[in-house]
Chain A
Amino acid sequence: MRLLNLLKIAFKAIILNKTRTLLTMLGIIIGVASVIAMLAIGEGSKESIRTTISAMGSNMITIRPGSDVRGGVRQERSAMETLTLNDYYAIKEQANLLTYITPLVNGGGQVINGSNNWPSTIYGVNPTYLKIKITELQSGSMFTDAEVQSAAKVALIGQTVVDNVFPDGQDPVGQMIRFNNIPFKIIGILEEKGENTFGQDQDDVVIAPYTTVQKRILAIDHLESIIASAISEDDAPEAVTQVSEILRKQHKLTETEEDDFHVRSMEELISTFSSTSEMLTILLVAVASISLLIGGIGIMNIMYVSVKERTKEIGLRMAVGGKGSDILMQFLIEAILISITGGILGVLLGLSSTVFIEKFLNWPTSIALYSIIISFAVCAITGIFFGWYPAKKAAALDPITALRYE
């Protein structure tokens, strides 16, 4: 009965003080919504980087030439010719934590088919490349080890190349193209992968035996890199160490000499990029916290001022027989109703603006449950506390003192 009466009183008061109610709610709504949306952007970009990298093969290991000379002069990577086929054979034979391994050489050039031409990149690899990169074929088939041995002029192309060089929709498999004036027979088409997070078109590629690319296109003996896949993602760090040891032996490096190569697992790449996006998230969290703080101060202000303003009302309510606890309960109910409603609206706004950002701005987002909980809790608690605390002070006065309050 008593609670019902107080609920009625609180409800009436909320309706009476429309402006205050709206302003307080606005503070809460904006605070909650902005935190949710910002953290969703941060989490979303982190997640999308992770999925992109995983799709590239999360147990992939990349070996590149180059040294980590600190303070000294670093040579440009392409100028380094320290990685050779012998290294590849050595790793292939000795490393037992790898499933697949392929040499890799690449070069840019023009793909030509009759009057159509398109600038692209040719990758020279062995047949395991598709396994390492987790890539399927749309049609045709991969070249064989024998074709690698014989440096056959066969190639597979990505969808972007297909679209640009075969615009009239004929089946490219079995057709001839020229890459930098070297004729290649197309034997397969790679599945479509689209852009990765870094904006790279993964379909703008030509794949051919590394022997062919080395001899006919680049005229080199060394390798640009070697890529391999570890038995599993968990084995990747161990495999990196193993490969490093093999290469140090192979390159006859003494204890004091630094590596003249880089071995990297995808995991490292993930953490590199994650830490970048982690920074983005931290930045967003900082901005979000500030907006939460400002929202909180807004709520605090409005609640505090309005309760102060209502000291007279509190005095009157006590004068006609309201107990201190009745008054407190009323203001608490008011504060809870306003804060919770504001919080819920804020969550809804946060979620819908996140969907909006995802749909219309095409930013990857991922809504974090903790952001909802934290922002809601912070705003609700601020609202409730600052609705309750000044009321508690007012209710401790003698009715006449409260009534006289100006």
Chain B
Amino acid sequence: MSKEIIRIEDLTREFTMGAETVRALRGISFTIKEGEFVTIMGSSGSGKSTLLNILGCLDQPTAGVYEIDGVKMKDLSRNQLATIRNEKIGFIFQSYNLLARTSALENIELPLFYNSKVSSEERRDRALKAIEMVSLTDRMEHTPSELSGGQQQRVAIARSLVNNPVMILADEATGNLDTRTAYEIMTIFQELNKQGITIIFVTHEPDIAAFSNRTIVLRDGNIIQDYQNPKILSAAEELAKLPKQDD
């Protein structure tokens, strides 16, 4: 049995907007073990992004416990949280969040700029490797406005890989991709997962969830289902099965 990497307990997140309070998460608990590939599903507005932001140390829960490797995130300073985000977590935003007017490669390098242990040669090498993984090497000098939605998403994915994170949190990382590219990306994630990286993947699509080993379903801020996948599909195999495109 591998060890727990994430534990949340009775996690709530409320947004106060004037007199109104939106309860995005209503007290949810689960643990995730190292090396798991978890998909989080649920209808729009069910709280998936809210949960992922908290898991990514980008947001603070209103109440409840969040632990990484047994350390309560609540007890950490802002700087310590920044270091965790920088060194342990790769986060893929639903809306990409790339730096405008900045080349794809430089966008991918960004997290490493904040890691003083990485030299500039290593930074460049790692960014080149990451952009190769998402097959965008030929677009590395392009700025986000010169890239398609799917290409931007792939840049965001490469950026999340560049710091060799122990876990990757992806918010609809394949939302804008065609089936083929989506499967390619899932192949990458499965590959990374095999290397021991924990992956938490928010998605709408059940066929994407089939590539993970566990699925958590949210509705209105509550967990309504949490199950192990009986039959995990291999993205590489599914990709091979797709009808050949004539380009």
Contacts and interface: CB of A to CB of B under 8 A. Distances in A.
A13 to B, nearest CB: 9
A321 B79 contact: no
A16 B101 contact: yes
B85 A320 contact: yes
A351 interface: no
Interface stretch (B53-61, B65-73, B182-190, B232-240): B53-61
A12 B85 CA distance: 23
Given A12-B102, A316-B97, A317-B110, A398 B60 contact: yes
A315 to B, nearest CB: 8
Contacts of A8: 113
Interface in A291-327: 312-313, 315-326
B59 A398 contact: yes
Contact of A321 (B59, B93, B97, B114): B114
B82 interface: yes
A399 B79 CA distance: 12
A2 interface: yes
Interface residues of A, number: 26
B99 A316 contact: yes
Contacts of B56: 319
Contacts of B82: 318, 321-324
Nearest to B96: A316
B58 A321 contact: no
B58 A400 contact: yes
B114 A323 contact: yes
B85 A321 contact: yes
A322 B102 contact: no
Interface in B97-117: 97, 99-102, 106, 110-111, 113-116
A398 B62 CA distance: 13
B220 interface: no
Interface SS, A side:
helix
A295 B67 CA distance: 51
Nearest to A315: B97
Nearest to A323: B82
B58 A319 contact: yes
Contacts of A319: 56, 58, 85, 91, 93, 97
A219 interface: no
A1 B113 CA distance: 10
A248 B73 CA distance: 96
Given A313-B99, A400-B53, A320 B60 contact: no
B78 interface: yes
B159 interface: yes
B226 interface: no
B53 A320 contact: no
B85 to A, nearest CB: 5
A320 to B, nearest CB: 4
A401 B13 CA distance: 14
Contacts of A316: 97, 99, 110
Interface in A364-406: 398-401, 403
A138 interface: no
A323 B99 contact: no
B86 interface: yes
Given A316-B97, A316-B99, A321 B116 contact: no
Contacts of B102: 12, 16
A403 B97 contact: yes
B99 A400 contact: no
A96 interface: no
B225 interface: no
A2 B60 CA distance: 27
B155 to A, nearest CB: 13
Contact of B58 (A16, A317, A324, A399): A399
A281 B54 CA distance: 62
B79 A324 contact: yes
B69 to A, nearest CB: 17
B83 interface: yes
B116 A5 contact: yes
A9 B58 contact: no
B153 interface: no
A103 to B, nearest CB: 83
Contacts of B159: 320
A1 B82 CA distance: 18
19 contacts: A1-B116, A5-B113, A8-B113, A9-B113, A12-B102, A16-B102, A317-B110, A318-B85, A320-B86, A320-B111, A320-B163, A321-B86, A321-B163, A322-B82, A323-B78, A325-B79, A398-B58, A398-B59, A403-B93
Given A16-B100, A320-B163, A321-B86, 18 more contacts: A5-B113, A9-B113, A312-B97, A315-B97, A319-B93, A320-B110, A321-B83, A321-B111, A321-B115, A322-B86, A323-B79, A323-B83, A323-B114, A324-B82, A399-B58, A399-B59, A399-B85, A400-B59
Interface of A: 1-2, 5, 8-9, 12, 16, 312-313, 315-326, 398-401, 403
